[in-house]
Structure 1
Amino acid sequence: MNRMIFVNLPVADVQKSRDFFTGLGFGFDEQFCDENAVCMKVNDQAFAMLIARDFFATFTPRPVADASATTEVLVCLSADSREDVDALVREALASGGEEPREPMDQGFMYGRAFTDLDGHVWEVMWMDPAVVAGEQCPA
């Protein structure tokens, strides 16, 4: 079975969040967009629902985390190359995001991270395809 994944994230301003991720090259499934939420398409199987905080709170009996003060989730996106990692993070920083930590470089794996406008941490990771395929061991 091919499962789809929908990551639900509370945001302060749905339109500003949409604008931020549009600037990073992401598209949206308009069938699931309204004033309370937008459905950001990562790929055909993965989506991020960016949901207004007040509306998000109706889905859970627990307090909604403030991602600028606590970490409730780390979302990791793959990249095709080290250069793609750097390009996406640079675009996020230029669009108002912040870089929460130093880049991680283990040779066969390279990653950086950015926070979106609400403080959610998005990691961007490249791994050597030969290591992923098991054709060689990590260096």
Structure 2
Amino acid sequence: MIISLPIDDRPRSHAFYRQALGLTPVGDELGPDGIPEPLQFRLADDVTMMLIPTGGFGWVLGKQPAAAPGQSECILGLRVDSEEAVDAAVARAVAAGAVQVTAPTREPWAYLATFTDPDGHLWMVSTD
């Protein structure tokens, strides 16, 4: 499975996902900017996230525009082991350039917080 997200700036997105979530890009072929092309991160054994510049993303969509900034098409979820890990993940993300949407809070179903990455994609970090 490949989850594809549109991005505006490859170096910024590359740095954000390495710093905020500790992800390592996959791929041996480097683009002119020194970043793997295509820019992908392994999320699980058979799941990768591919970050595609907005123009190319529109081409993949059949020459349709990507969603406007500030509109989220989905929520990307990250499960962690503890409330402290939720707090730490959100702090790392904010330090790397995320915008916190909701502060860590206890809900009946989970302890969670949300933030957007530099391109406005919504992430939820949670623990049971």
Q: Same fold, TM exceeding 0.5?
A: yes
Residue pair 1:113, 1:123 contacting (<8 A) in 2 also: yes
Q: CA deviation at 1:55?
A: 1.0
Residue pair 1:28, 1:40 contacting (<8 A) in 2 also: yes
- % same residue: 29
Equivalent in the alignment of 2:101: 100
Equivalent in the alignment of 2:23: 26
CA distance in 2, matches of 1:78, 1:58: 32
Q: What amino acid does structure 1 have at the position aligned with 2:93?
A: A
Q: CA deviation at 1:32?
A: 7.3
Matched pairs, number: 122
Equivalent in the alignment of 2:5: 9
- Unaligned 5+ segments in structure 1 are 128-139
Structure 1 stretches (4+) deviating beyond 3 angstroms? 31-37
* Structure 2 counterparts to residues 1-139 of structure 1, below 5 A: 5-24=1-20, 25-31=22-28, 34=31, 37-61=38-62, 62-66=64-68, 68-106=69-107, 109-127=110-128
How far does the alpha carbon of each residue in 1:70-103 deviate from its partner, in whole angstroms, 9 at most, with x for none? 1211111111111111111100101111111233
TM-score using structure 2 length: 0.84
Coordinate RMSD, CA, aligned:
1.9
- Unaligned 5+ segments in structure 2 are none
Residue pair 1:32, 1:39 contacting (<8 A) in 2 also: no
Q: Secondary structure at the match of 1:42?
A: strand
User: Between Structure 1 and Structure 2, whose CA radius of gyration is higher?
Assistant: 1
Q: CA deviation at 1:107?
A: 5.3
